[in-house]
Amino acid sequence: MTTTVDLIERGYFPQELPPPFSTNLLSQALPMLQPTSNYRVKTSRYISYDIPRVKLQRRHLSIPNPLHQIKLCEAIEANWTNIQRHYAKSQISISTPVVSTIRAVTPNRGFEDMVFERILRSSSSRVLLRTDISRYYSTIYTHSIPWAVHTKAFAKRNRQNTHYGNLLDECMRNCQDGQTIGIPIGPDTSLIVSEIIGSEIDFLFQQRVGQVKGFRFVDDYYLYFESMSDAEQACSALHQTLREFELDHNLAKTTMMNLPEILEKEWATELRIFDVRSNLTAQKNDIVSFFSKAFDYSIKYPTDPVIKYAVTRSKTFNISVSNWDIYESLLLKTMIVEPSTLQVSLQILLSYDLHGYPLNRTKIAETITEIILHHANFNHFFEISWALWISKSLGISLDIRVANAVSQLNNSIVALVALDLSNSGLLVGLNTTNWQTYLTVNNMYEEQWLLNYEAQVKGWLNAGRTLFTAGSLFSDLNSHNVEFYDTTRQIPTFTPTAARQAARTIVPTDNQQGGDDTLNYTGGLQQNTNTFTFY
């Protein structure tokens, strides 16, 4: 069973945030808070945080206010048995939420399992229908939650919150200032709610077409048939079902084709099996060839995460110290051209730095500065916040140009990382006048709620004074020492292959202990155990 504590501790903040952002202390304080019904604020606004996907594509994440996120989690926990019973109506979903130790819940099959499901479920079929729900999370009509649970006719006649579909509808709307269109992307609660709707769509679709081979993963459908006409009829039936929930399928991604299908694109196959040799000269050439192939494939497949896959794959390479400068330069180039690599690039830089490789901090500083100055023009908060955190992680000072650019941005994530750098002496000249205007009682349930609370608690903007209304949620959180920004947290590191092989040639003395492949970075920084999605 999933609980409110789990959903807040491991399923609240999006995993794409920089490591210091944490809800651990909030989850620990939950048993000591007043009943949430005592906090009578009706709605709140979420923090917007866009992340890059590929090239110009972006995904819009949301970080709801803790009051209404907690209320939503409580509603889910109270009705978890009913929700699971509802999930069982779908015979084709492979993304039913299950309790996890990494996040609060995860799909019962991973994205990487889809290719195997395609093989297993299509063996006796001739035709594939592939489609997805267009902009699924962003276009979900919250009133369709009770439609899915209780049927539309029942929900229209019975609007009381004693029916859990209506309760989830209200809780979801309250997380987003009363909006009825879309649900927040980022919290695990949205996977839970989207699967409620998805399971009912599957059930009604199967009633129309009968038993069907194939599966749905969140919003992606892979369906298999004996003939093209069967696939066409199923496509029409699915479209009709989606329209009942005011959703639509993505015409640009809808295809019907004769099997067999290509199961793995050429770029994935070639980059996955690419071998980097240990001979120093050969290795240098191999590194260049590998990234050249990745850059070439990223041009041929502009909507695929080629470069991010390549950088992640390169973690397994046995990079020698003498070839580090070539590898490092290519890594920095990927950070510029494909900023979705910033997370894994930091992990690589920290890991090699920990094992004595000569990082070129001047070149890294130039790269970070270019990223921040460029993306500040477009309010790309993911790129800016991660670039700032890379600076903090590697102890790299940034100049006044960065301070001036960051000072103008209105985003809690960026502002808090920048304030951390300023407090650490790594960002001189930061002008906080703009952010200080958010420090009011009235702003605790507006978009910059996180900056308002955390900057007050840490004394970064207000010299230790707090402006919390007595008896409010945030006053209670402060009294229980809840913070959302932990300066000691860090991304997990790993032991590079070359360092691991060198260590095997050393015989430990009585004073040495055996090593672990996952090491903490120096400076007392703790590992952030979040996983990272590479697609």
Structure confidence at residue 532 as a pLDDT band (50, 70, 90): very low
- Please write down the HEC assignment for all residues of 349-364: HHHHHHCCCCCCHHHH
Residue 399, pLDDT score: 96
Residue 498, pLDDT score: 65
3-state class (DSSP) for residue 258: strand
| Domain presence at residue 412 | no
Residue 501, pLDDT score: 62
Whole-angstrom distance, CA of residue 474 vs CA of residue 481: 10
3-state class (DSSP) for residue 137: helix
> Is it the case that residue 1 has pLDDT exceeding 60?
yes
| Domain presence at residue 441 | no
CB 385 within 8 A of CB 414: yes
In tens, the pLDDT along 389-444 reads: 999 999 999 999 999 999 999 999 999 999 999 999 999 999 999 999 999 998 99
CA distances from 205 to 31, 183, 198, 240, 522 (A): 42, 23, 10, 9, 55
Structure confidence at residue 385 as a pLDDT band (50, 70, 90): very high
Residue 174, pLDDT score: 98
Residue 464, pLDDT score: 65
Residue 169, pLDDT score: 98
Supply the angle between the helices 412-423 and 381-394 in degrees, to the nearest 10. Answer: 20
Residue 513, pLDDT score: 31
Q: What is the mean pLDDT of residues 199-206?
A: 98
| Domain presence at residue 268 | no
Q: What is the mean pLDDT of residues 445-453?
A: 97
| Domain presence at residue 263 | no
Whole-angstrom distance, CA of residue 393 vs CA of residue 396: 8
Parallel/antiparallel/unpaired status of strands 58-63 and 127-132 = unpaired
| Domain presence at residue 228 | yes
3-state class (DSSP) for residue 40: coil
Residue 359, pLDDT score: 98
Q: Closest by alpha carbon to 77, among 9, 137, 179?
A: 9
Whole-angstrom distance, CA of residue 298 vs CA of residue 303: 8
Residue 502, pLDDT score: 54
Residue 505, pLDDT score: 40
Q: What is the mean pLDDT of residues 133-140?
A: 97
In tens, the pLDDT along 470-519 reads: 999 999 999 999 999 999 999 999 999 866 665 444 433 333 333 333 23
Structure confidence at residue 521 as a pLDDT band (50, 70, 90): very low
| Domain presence at residue 38 | no
Structure confidence at residue 346 as a pLDDT band (50, 70, 90): very high
Mean pLDDT of all residues belonging to the chain? 92
| Domain presence at residue 91 | yes
CB 231 within 8 A of CB 137: no
Residue 111, pLDDT score: 87
Count how many domains the chain has.
1
Residue 499, pLDDT score: 62
Share of the chain above pLDDT 90, in %: 89
Beta bridge partners of 58: 52
Query: Domain range spanning residue 238?
Result: 60-258
| Domain presence at residue 521 | no
pTM score:
0.92
Q: Which two tokens stand for residue 300?
A: 């041929």
> Is it the case that residue 528 has pLDDT exceeding 60?
no
CB 458 within 8 A of CB 449: no
In tens, the pLDDT along 304-317 reads: 999 999 999 999 99
Q: What is the mean pLDDT of residues 282-301?
A: 98
CB 358 within 8 A of CB 389: no
